Amino acid sequence: MKKKSKLSSIYLVIVFLILYAPIFYLMFYSFNSGGTMYQFEGFTLDWYRELFDDTRLLIIVLNTVIIALLSAVISTILGVAGALAIYYARRRRVKNTLLSLNNVLIVSPDVIIGASFLILFTIIGIKLGFVSVLLAHIAFSVPIVVIMVLPKIEEMSTSMIYAALDLGASRWDVLTKVILPYITPGIFAGFFMALTYSLDDFAVTFFVTGNGFTTLSVEIYSLARRGVSLNINALSTLLFVFTMILVVGYYFVTKRNNRSNGLGVKL
**Cα-based angle 140, 143, 146 (whole degrees, multiple of 5):** 150
> What was the pLDDT predicted at 264?
42
- What residue ranges define each of the domains in the chain, with the CATH number in brackets? 57-214 (1.10.3720.10)
Alpha-carbon span 199 to 238, nearest angstrom: 13
| Residue 1: per-residue pLDDT | 57
To the question of pTM greater than 0.75 for the whole model, the response is yes
Is pLDDT at 266 greater than 50 in this prediction?
A: no
Q: Write the pLDDT tens digit of every residue in 193-244.
A: 898 888 888 888 888 887 778 888 888 888 777 766 787 788 888 888 887 8
What pLDDT, on a 0 to 100 scale, did the predictor assign at position 32?
86
Give me the long-range contacts of 83-87 (CB less than 8 A, separation at least 24).
83/145, 83/146, 83/149, 83/150, 83/153, 84/153, 84/179, 86/146, 86/150, 87/150, 87/153, 87/154
Q: pLDDT digits over 22-74, tens only?
A: 888 888 888 888 777 777 888 888 888 888 888 888 888 888 889 999 999 99
